[in-house]
Amino acid sequence: MTERKSHPGRRLALGAGIALIPAVLFGLGGGPAPSSAAGAAGAASATPAIASKVVIEPAALKGRQGDVVALALALPAPDAAAAGGQAVPVGRLGDHEVPFFRLDDAGRFGALVGIDLDAPTGKQTLIVTLGDRTVAKVPVLIQAQHFPTQTLTVPDEMVHLDDETLARVKQEQQQALTAMAPVTPSRWWSGSFVVPTDGPQMGSFGKRRIINGEPRNPHSGEDFSAPEGSQVVAANDGVVCLVSDHFFSGHSIFIDHGDGLYTMYFHLSKVSVEPSQHVHKGQVIGLVGSSGRATGPHLHWGARLNGARINPLELTRLAFQ
Ligand SMILES: [Zn+2]
């Protein structure tokens, strides 16, 4: 029912020889402010104007809550050559770092921006820096996503946790957040992610749940209905950063794909990987189960990008190869 179609026009033309569309262009030889840099165009310190442009595609970003938005950036030749070609731009959106990764040796970079399922709608700005200079300010428009609401009535004792369990749950949430906090400066993933198990998708990402009249946290992953013992595979290459047995998520695996991108696999009946282990796209990492708080066997697949809870299915249709 919430079958989501890929967004037309989302794919970026990143192949060699494909022109990028000029966007927010800052003089790179001058000060941080674009107006003053332009005003100082005649100043002796300015680098040649023809080479002092950062090109970004698309010029403005737009996405809905839970989406992944891709962008590409091309540095002018002098900057691409700076520091022996090792200079890498870094983005920042609100409190979160948005790392760029190299697409080629000619100064072209890509980045993925995650929009949290609860992100406030409206305009934000992605600030891109190179070293200590701001080289681009990219407008980001965040739009509302329609998430279904589910209202349930269950016996009170099923939803109210005793103090001991509540303390356990808080500690486990912190453990998961800590495991997914680093922005590892490597990109292990490549190409689109694969769906981690066979079986129908339940369309449960972002679902708002109201239990006994009280709003609960939105559902932050996608559930797959699959029989107990079905194989679960890694959605892409990465490093296992946490294996745990948590009150809600049961036997679970967290994979760091690098550059601030993580996926997680919950309610497993068997885990066949260990922390620090490198895994490959399609490699079996465990089996479907109903461990933790689950009403029956299914796989809960979640993803986090730069701290944002994103729809993992967005990763199965990435613009980058
Ligand atoms: Zn779930």
pLDDT digits (tens, 9 = 90+) for 173-195: 999 999 999 999 999 999 999 99
Mean pLDDT of 6-13: 41
Q: 17-31, 80-94, 237-251: which range is least confident on average?
A: 17-31
E-assigned strand segments in 272-319: 278-279, 284-288, 298-305, 308-310
Q: How much distance in Å is there from the Cα of 40 to the middle of ligand 1? A: 55
Q: How much distance in Å is there from the Cα of 179 to the middle of ligand 1? A: 19
- What pLDDT is recorded for position 167? 96
- What pLDDT is recorded for position 209? 87
Q: Give CA–CA dist 220/20, Å, rounded.
A: 34
- What pLDDT is recorded for position 47? 33
Residue 18 has pLDDT above 70, yes or no: no
Q: How much distance in Å is there from the Cα of 181 to the middle of ligand 1? A: 21
Cα distance from N-terminal residue to C-terminal residue, the chain: 29
Q: How much distance in Å is there from the Cα of 235 to the middle of ligand 1? A: 17
For the chain, give me the number of helices (H) and strands (E)?
4, 21
Q: How much distance in Å is there from the Cα of 221 to the middle of ligand 1? A: 6
Q: 18-32, 249-263, 264-278, 287-301: which range is least confident on average?
A: 18-32
Q: Hey, how many other C-beta atoms are within 10 angstroms of the C-beta on 283?
A: 13
Nearest to 298 by CA among 267, 272, 271: 267
Q: Give CA–CA dist 312/63, Å, rounded.
A: 15
- What pLDDT is recorded for position 215? 87
Q: How much distance in Å is there from the Cα of 219 to the middle of ligand 1? A: 6
- Set out the domains of the chain in order of their start, with CATH numbers: 34-143 (2.60.40.1930), 149-317 (2.70.70.10)
Residue 26 has pLDDT above 60, yes or no: no
Q: How much distance in Å is there from the Cα of 294 to the middle of ligand 1? A: 8
38 in Cβ contact with 31 (< 8 Å): no
Q: How much distance in Å is there from the Cα of 153 to the middle of ligand 1? A: 18
What percentage of the chain exceeds 70 in pLDDT? 82
Token pair listed for 246: 């948590």
Q: How much distance in Å is there from the Cα of 223 to the middle of ligand 1? A: 5
Mean pLDDT of 26-30: 30
Q: Is the backbone peptide bond immediately before 185 cis, with ω within 30 degrees of 0? A: no
The C-alpha angle with vertex 195 and arms to 191 and 199, in degrees rounded to 5, equals 160
Q: How much distance in Å is there from the Cα of 249 to the middle of ligand 1? A: 8
Q: How much distance in Å is there from the Cα of 190 to the middle of ligand 1? A: 26
Q: What is the pTM of this model?
A: 0.83
Q: How much distance in Å is there from the Cα of 2 to the middle of ligand 1? A: 15
